[in-house]
Amino acid sequence: MSVLLIAEHNNKEVRPFTLNAITAASQINGDVHVLLIGNHCGDVAKSISEMPAVKKVLHAEAEYYENYLAENFAPLVIKISENYSHIVSSANTFGKNLMPRIAAKLDISQVSDITKVISADTFLRPIYAGNAFATVKSTDAKKCITIRPTSFEVCETSGGSAPIEKIEATEEFKSSKFVKREEVKSDRPELGTARVVVSGGRGMQNGENFKLITDIADKLNAAIGASRAAVDAGYISNEHQVGQTGKVVVPDLYIAVGISGAIQHLAGMKESKVIVAINKDGEAPIFSVADYGLEADLFEALPQFLEELNKLNSIQK
C-alpha cells in the first residue's frame, strides 16, 4: 500500500518542511501520494506534481480549507485513509495539530516526531527533549507518523510529472472558526531553515542589546534565535525561541551568545553542524556542546566579532 503525505502550504506555495516530509515518506515506501487540501491552490498542486518523489497528487478544494483548521482537514484524510498503510506529516505546529485528530478517529496510536525511518513499522524518535532516543515499533495495522523536518533532507522539486487527481471536499466543521493570523514578516531567512542562526540569551540583559546580535546576523545573512530565558524576560518575541518549547534548528552554524545552555535550550540546537558559544562564565553548560568556545564578555566580543567579519573579503550567504 502507498504512503499518504499531508502537504503544508499557504495556498500559494508549498511550505518548506513538506519537502523534508516527502523525503521521509519515500523512505517508508516509494509510492508516495501527496494530499493537498486548500482553497484556490492549483499552483501548489502543480508544483508538488513536479517533485520526482511524488507519484500522485490528491487535490481537494473548499473555502473552509483556506486556513487549515484540523477540524476541517481530518475528516477528508480519514475518508481516503483506507488505501494507505501510512499517513505522514511534518512535526511542526501544522502536523502536530492535525495528525492526532486523524489518528484518534482511526484508533491508531501515533508515532510523533521521528528522526529516522528504520523500517516500515520501526522508527527512531527523541524523547525527554532529545536527551534520549527511543527505537519504537508500531503494532497498529495502519500508522500515523509525524516527522522531524530537520532530520530529513529536502526532496527534489523538479523533473517529475505526477498525475493530479481532484477529490471531493468533506463537510465543514462549524464549531471552529479561523479569525486571523499575525505573521511575522522579516527579510531574514526563516529560523527553522536558516543556514546560520545567531541566538541571544539572558546575558543580553535587555531587548535593545539584541541590536548587537542583529548586526552580526545581518552580516552573516542569519536568522535570529533566543533562549527561553530571553523570551520570558521580554527581550525578544517568542517566534525566535529555540529549544524544547520553541523551535528545533539544525543550521550549519549556530552562534549562542550569553546563553548558559539549559537542557531545554540544548534540545533545540545541539544537532547544529558547528556550534559557537560566547559566554563570560567559563563553566556554562553551553561550552560542553560548542565546537568553538569563547570565554568573554559579549558586550566586548560582539563588536569585535562584527569588526572581524568586516575585514573578511567574502562571507558565505
Partner 1 sequence: MKILVAVKRVIDYNVQIRVKEDGTGIVTDNVKMSSNPPDDNAIEEAVKIKESGKATEIIAVTVGEEKSQETLRKALAVGADRGILIKAEGTIEPLAVAKALQKIVDKEKPDLVFMGKQAIDDDCNQTGQMLSALLNWPQATFASKIEIKDKILEVTREVDEGLETIEVNIPSIVTCDLRLNEPRYASLPNIMKAKKKPLEILTASDLGIDIAPRVQQIKVEEPPKRKAGIKVASVAELVSKLKNEAKVI
Instruction: Name the segment binding partner 1 (CB under 8 A); options: 27-35, 43-51, 155-163, 172-180.
Output: 172-180
Contacts of 21 (CB under 8 A, 6+ apart): 5, 8, 88, 89, 90, 95, 147, 149, 152
Alpha helices in 29-67 (DSSP H): 42-49
Site for partner 1 (CB under 8 A): which residue of 7, 47, 126, 261?
126
- For residue 17, report the phi and psi dihedrals to the nearest 5 degrees: -65, -20
Site for partner 1 in 219-238 (CB under 8 A): 220, 228, 231-232, 238
The nearer residue to partner 1, 24 or 253, going by C-beta atoms, is 253
Q: Check residue 150 for interaction with partner 1 (CB under 8 A).
A: no
Q: Check residue 284 for interaction with partner 1 (CB under 8 A).
A: no
Site for partner 1 (CB under 8 A): which residue of 46, 79, 166, 177?
177
> In whole angstroms, how far apart are CA 251 and each of 131, 199, 271?
19, 12, 8
Alpha-carbon gap, residue 254 to 289, rounded angstroms:
11
Task: Enumerate the β-bridge partners of residue 223.
Answer: 197
Instruction: Name the segment binding partner 1 (CB under 8 A); options: 24-32, 37-45, 46-54, 108-116.
Output: 108-116
Site for partner 1 (CB under 8 A): which residue of 1, 30, 153, 315?
315
Q: Check residue 296 for interaction with partner 1 (CB under 8 A).
A: yes
> In whole angstroms, how far apart are CA 218 and each of 187, 189, 223, 259, 306?
10, 10, 9, 20, 10
Alpha-carbon gap, residue 42 to 92, rounded angstroms:
24
Q: Check residue 242 for interaction with partner 1 (CB under 8 A).
A: no
Site size with partner 1, rule: CB under 8 A: 90
Least separation, in Å, of the C-beta of 52 and partner 1?
26
Alpha-carbon gap, residue 232 to 255, rounded angstroms:
20
Instruction: Name the segment binding partner 1 (CB under 8 A); options: 38-46, 56-64, 158-166, 308-316.
Output: 308-316
DSSP calls for 141-152: SSEEEEE-GGGS
The C-alpha cell at 192 is 527553522
Site for partner 1 in 189-208 (CB under 8 A): 192, 196
Site for partner 1 (CB under 8 A): which residue of 176, 188, 206, 281?
176
Q: Check residue 137 for interaction with partner 1 (CB under 8 A).
A: yes
The C-alpha cell at 73 is 482537514
Q: Check residue 132 for interaction with partner 1 (CB under 8 A).
A: yes
Contacts of 74 (CB under 8 A, 6+ apart): 98, 101, 102, 105
The nearer residue to partner 1, 55 or 126, going by C-beta atoms, is 126
Site for partner 1 (CB under 8 A): which residue of 29, 52, 101, 164?
101
The nearer residue to partner 1, 49 or 193, going by C-beta atoms, is 193
Site for partner 1 in 44-83 (CB under 8 A): 69-71, 74
Q: Check residue 299 for interaction with partner 1 (CB under 8 A).
A: no
